[in-house]
Amino acid sequence: MELGDIGLIVHKIKENVSKVIVGKEEIIDLSLICIITGGHMLLEDVPGTGKTVFARTIAASLDCSFRRIQFTPDLLPSDVTGINFYSQKESNFTFRPGPVFSNIVLADEINRATPRTQSSMLECMEEKQVTIDGETRKLAAPFFVIATQNPVEIQGTFPLPEAQLDRFLIKTSMGYPDTKSSIDILKRFKENNPLAELKAVVTAAEICEASEIYSKVKVSEDIMEYIINIAEATRKHSGVHLGVSPRGTLSLMKASQVRALLKNRTYVTPDDIKAMAAPVLAHRIIPKGLTADNSNPGEKIINNILEQTAVPLE
C-alpha cells in the first residue's frame, strides 16, 4: 500500500457512511483520523444526536466487529474487560471476553461509571491489551473507542480525570443537524433503515496497513516548531492552569499527518495544524476558572493561541 491509497480508502468509507449519516462530513473525517492513527474519540453530546448510529455505521463500513457498553454506576471493570469463570463441565477456569474485545467499541455515557470502572478502559485504550489475573491478552486490530458523555446532566456522574481525557486523541460533538439535513434524515429513514443495508467497503487488514504507513507523511522542521510553539503557549497562557503535554504535541502531529492525506497531500501544512489543534488539544488543557458563558473554554483558548502564534512560511 502507498500513501496515496489511504486517500482512496478514506474516500470509499466516507461515501459509504454518507448513505446513513447526513451532514456530518467533519465528524466522519475526525473519526477516520482516529482510526488510522490508532487513537480514540470522545463525543460530548446530548442524547438522540446519532452517536450510536454513527458508531455502527463506521463499524459496518470497515467490516469490523462492534460492541456497545452502557456505562452505569453499578458497572464493574470485569463487565468491560471480561472475566475468568470456573466451568464445571471442563473442571477449569475459562476466559469470557468482555465487549472491549471488538474492533470498535461505543462506551456510552462513560462518565456515569465509577472511577474504578473508568480506569479499566485506560490500559485497553493506551496499550491495546487487557491484563486479567496476571495474564495479558492483546485486543483486536484495529481498535477504536468512541466514548460519549452528556454535557447537560451532571447528577450521578463521575467526571473523567485528566489522565483519562488524555487518552482520547480527539474530543468533539455531533451537534444538532441544520434544517436541510434534518429533512434529509426524515426522508432517508422514512420507510427503512439504510444502516441495515450497508455493506463493508474496506477490510480491517487495510486499515491496519494504513496505520503502519501514514507516518511517512512529511512533517518539516518548521511545522514541528509550530506545533511546539502552540503547546508552549498553552503552558504560559494566563488563563491556563495546566498546558499541553508532549503526548499532546505528538497527537497533534499524527492527526495532522492523516488530515494531509485526506486533503490529497503527502506533506503537512500549517492549515492542517490549525484544523486539528482544537479537536486534539482543547480537552488536554485545564483552564483557570470559568468563561462568561462556560462553554468550551479550552477550545476558545486554543483558537486565541492560534491567532497569536506566528505561522511558518510554506
- Tens digit of pLDDT for each residue in 279-310? 999 999 988 875 444 467 889 999 999 999 99
CATH number for the domain that contains residue 146: 3.40.50.300
Torsions phi, psi for 74 (to 5 deg): -95, 5
119 and 223 part of one domain? no
The three-state secondary structure class of 156 is coil
- At residue 126, the pLDDT reads 85
pTM metric for this prediction: 0.89
196 and 227 part of one domain? no
In a domain, 125, yes or no: yes
157 and 302 part of one domain? no
Please state which of the ranges 43-52, 228-237, 273-282 shows the lowest mean pLDDT: 43-52
pLDDT band at 175 (very low <50, low <70, confident <90, very high): confident
What percentage of the chain has pLDDT greater than the value 90? Answer: 48
Range of the domain at 59: 3-207
172 and 273 part of one domain? no
**pLDDT at residue 153 greater than cutoff 90:** no
93 and 197 part of one domain? yes
Count the domains in the chain: 2
Do the Cβ atoms of 87 and 93 come closer than 8 Å?
yes
- At residue 292, the pLDDT reads 40
Q: How far is CA 113 from the centre of its chain?
A: 19
Strand partners, 109: none
- At residue 119, the pLDDT reads 84
222 and 75 part of one domain? no
Torsions phi, psi for 104 (to 5 deg): -125, 125
